[in-house]
Structure 1
Amino acid sequence: MQTNALLNLLVIDEDQLYAERIVSLLSHYYDEVNLGFLDDEEELLKALRSPWDVLVFGRAYDLTLTDVVVILQSHDLDLPIIGLMSDELAATAHNAEGLPATIDSMMVKALRPENEVEVVLSICLQHAGLGCRRALKGIRHILSEAEQRANILIKNSKSAVAYLDQGIHIFANDPYLELFGFESMKDIIGVPVIDLIADKDNVKEFKQFLRKFDKGNRDQLEFQFESRKMDGSTFEAKLQLAAATLEGAPVTQIIIQQNAANDAEIAKRLAAVERMDTLTGLGNRRGLEEQLELIHQKVGDEKSSAALYYIQLDNIGKISSSLGLQGVDATIKQVGYRLGEMIEEGYVSRFGDTTFTILVEHLTTQAVKDLAEQIRTDIAGMLIDVNKRTTSTTVSIGVVKIEAGAAAPQVLLERAIDAVGTVQIETKNHGDAYHLYDPSEHANSDDMALAEYLVKAISNNGFELKYQPIYDINTDSSDFFEVYLRLPLADASNTVLTPDHFMAVAKTHHLREKIDRWVLIHACKQLNDVRKQHPTARILVQLTSASLVDKQLPNVASQLIKAIGGAPGAITLQFSEQDVINHLTVAKAQFAALSEAGCEIAIHHFGNSAKSIEIADTVQTDMVRLSRNYIDNINNEDNLDTVKALITRANEHEIDVLMPYIEDAATMSVSWSVGARYLQGYYLEAPSTSMHFGTSEA
């Protein structure tokens, strides 16, 4: 709940004592409550000349709640309303559960006046929502102003600059038009940028370059090519890309320079500008990220230390409300100037709209803390002048030490930002404090490393697949193979992880779908090679719930089936019974689409639900793989009867049953009698790195 804040409360009611009672209760949540009290329309119209945060409506001499809403709409006011129970609202006051009939970001209708706690909390929540809307409006204004300033600079720039939307010109400044021989803007709008590239090989390379940029790859931002003017003449040029906005929509900005003797100097000056914040003259985010990379490498090479400070202004929304954009800019400029003065040996940058970063080297842990406290107290003591008015601000500071063996620069930056979040929690959003990130307090550091390793394995084919034969009683063959995923670690002990060790981390970092896709593609590649010698070979591939709900999976499966010759049933996809239960409607539609594509469907860990047969029949599965608890102690007569009954019911629904985990001769001898079509286990054959076509002796 808000503290240290002002609430302007307007009450329309006949009972002033009640209004004062509400103000008394609100004083526990606000430093000051400014009460406006009235009970007729004329007074309301006068009161609306002043700013208000929340309006509470009870009873009035000549007003209804509808009248108040109409008046606010006619004045185009964003003023939340709390409606107290009245004759007008009684008929539709509450729903069947007894809750107020209308609750949204603008109105609560209707509360009983005697339920003062509900009234007070509704006022606080509506006020908080209003604050968010005001802050969002201010941010949008700031972004609009920034875009306007950027566009003015581009229009007056001597560099050739244009904006692209999906590779098509939508804007170009005069130097750009002159460079290529266009007479006016209308002549270039709609022209593909590849029309300005002379060589066909350059066109192909540029398409790939632009495609990578559109996907977020920023490893390469420059492109050397032979450019073509409208008159057919050509010249050697360099193109640079950057993300930008035009009228609020995302576009791609390109800058084209002719190669000349002074290219190096121009590039140097341009690079400096690209790494500088225009408002404060400090470095910007790009500059900070590059410096952080350099410091990170230097610390690792020299076994030294450094510190990263992430500094967030606390009350910028309040400053924006009271002093507008001019007040915000003045605050940012003066805080930036003060930070630059304080840090003589270090790198200071404006990281975001209202955030700064500082990089300093060679500080002990205590010195790191002392500097954070110095920054905090110095900023809190500033008096910021804005057009003969004065304001002040405080900061929340997140600090990370950078030492040899530290995490990647981006992770360090995220930790500094998280440390600011810790400040907000510890101070209940008041700020004016700092927090030094302590890795020992964060148990997810190992998970982060594992997530990074998984991403690398997906990109560099670092996974390994194993294949275990499945014996088919009906055909007396073992040309059906279950695919198992493994993750070898590059450590001294040659550790190999199974999915139960890394899938939880993969889920947290949204990697399961990519891992599933990797398994499916590489298993099908192996199957395609094997089927050249063994055309009846089939595979059983286990996928996660991420693929179960992936609408693209049937299309991917169809393409893979075509790639291996189009044989239906060559691929069987299996999902866990619990995942199918959790997504039953989606699973039914997904399985139908996969069957249409030529895939067969299986459910593993089958039999753990009281309605396993009904579920399998509902989604029209082809095969089920029994849960391990059915196989354990199968020699027990009761357990054996249970397994037989389950398999019999499955067969009645034309569902084939796979009996896995056959690890010894006793289990094998029983397996023949239960009615399962497929048998599998280490007693028959262990998984191997290839599809081994041996003779299975049952």
Structure 2
Amino acid sequence: MAIEKKTIRLLILEDSQNEAERLVSLFRNAGRATRVHRLTSSDDLAEALQQSWDLLIAAPSSENLEPSEAITAIRRQAKDIPVIQLLVGNDSDDVTEALTLGAQDALPQGEDERLILVANRELANLEERRARRTAEVALREAEKRCQLLLDSSVDSITYVHDGMHVYANRSYLQLFGYEDADELEGMPMIDLIASADQGRFKDFLKNYQSSEGGAELACSGMKASGQDFQARMGFSQATYDGEPCIQVVIRGESGNAELEEKLREISSQDLVTGLFNRTHFIELLDAAAQRAVSNSEPANLAYVRVDRYPALLAEVGLAGIDLLLTDLANLLRQHFPRDAQLARFGDGVFAVLQPGQTPEQSQDSLHSLLKKIESHLFDVSGRTVQTTLSIGSAGLNETTAKAQEVINRAHRCADELSEGNGLNVYCPASELAAAANRGNVLAMLQQALDNNQFRLLFQPIISLRGDNNEHYEVLLRLLNPQGKEVPPSEFLSAALDAGLAEKIDRWVILNSIKLLADHRAKGHNTCLFVHLSSASLQDQTLLPWLSVALKAARLPSDALAFQINEPDAIAYLKQTKALTQGLAELHCKVTLCQFGCALNPFNTLKYMNVDYVKIDGSYSQDLSTAESQEALKTLLASLHAQAKLTIVPFVESASVLATLWQAGVNYIQGYYLQGPSQSMDYDFSAGDE
């Protein structure tokens, strides 16, 4: 599942402002940050199409602009904007008509869950198309550079299709004594081979084409003048102008041919173990990834790490560790079939690429290797040494975009084997957990939402005026995979940025309602204070959803008090006004928090239906001077004059209680009374004694 989704740019063709806002809320509730424009006319559409958009959702009809006209305008300008057409019913003819016109999909209006699924599919397809276009541009640039390199190469290079020349560079023409590439066009390559070697060349080419591997052939070439010369030809699969063909690189034979071959071999090898080195192995992995994507040829990568490598190095020394790694390399050669490609990938790390194998098919072999190494006695300069392996395994398939991703996955799987001597196979479904383990806050949030893993804490809000009702503030906590709390400021801001805040708010509300219903069933008259994020202030669907949730739980509406922060209320004052009015109609309580920091805090109160006002913590945290005490008393007096119930948080010592009592505060909250707890167990009757 993708965690970090970018903001989508959404066009909506819908005459009703309320319905348009409802559609936007659907996307935000689904974790999609959106920028929206509602189309109102054909001129408006023409202006909007000057910009880039990701999706158009069209109502069944519109008085200002017919959906068919909008779709036609988009197609006429060749804009890549997927269109989802909403329909009044589910008539198949209407669906067909919309698809024929150019919509990507058509579905009945009101099927919200299906709409989000279809939209996510089309947005994913759009991203793929954009990525493909970017890749095509990059490919064209790369092909231009490759052509320049081919033309200027000192090596003689030709491309051959069905035995015929389709391209030859300048060096190739000079080698065979031709002036112009046109002279070779359509000429079979076998005509440039000396007659004595033509039969061998023909047999080689047939076998090579069936094996599709890289190979070399030493034979005699024949110049245009009829003169023979010795040449060594390297063959490899390639494409030219989109056609599959064979690339042939010819180097003149010299006395150093054997030396050159040896040098090339050495450049791809690890000098200690004789296996491939890291650089060459990554090239092999890139080729395997390309085959997986192009030809659906699977492969498996095993990241094989020697357990306790630093301790072994300290124990046997550099010379000794080289002997151990050499023995281990030989065991790997014996264990895996000949087509497996083995490499020393790092100091104590090997890599194994198994072509044609999926991770599932490789498991038995890798488990067998673990047992073999665990029971093996290594002889290091007359000393017996034992070790084990940690193996991370990840597959290459048609969805593998980059070989480096596969290496990272296998590496992470090996790292997760803290005890060692084990095999951990990459599972796409576990990627979220892996990201969370690496400290990715968004992954932790998504995991907590998916698996119901948030924690709710309850901190009592205690009356100084003899109110016997039980009040608790609900506080949300997120634990990382290691069981430690993630600071709320860190994960709440991340949730807001990622468009997950509405989902989290609803999770908190639902779970608070469940716990509250159970608690009240035991005879407690309890009210819970629940926070709302700025995202929920803008959520048009919150009120109807909340009404259904309260009725389903058979809870009185005044058992919940919703807390809104003053900065959010100021930023979204219009939405806050509408929401608090709706909450009042539901008979839910409303609290304005962090009050008193704005230039004119009482201006906000004019527009809100507020029952409680929670003073900003800065007032109670600094009551050491007469001026700060007076400022708090003045603020409270003004609030009490407006019949607002006041709450002062961060009461950390007994010394401030007298000041708060004299100031007429209604409720107090803080660690001096009780910190946040996982249970609602505060003895509210103790305060009356």
TM above 0.5: no
Larger RCO (CA within 8 A; separation ≥ 6): 2
TM-score (norm 1): 0.42
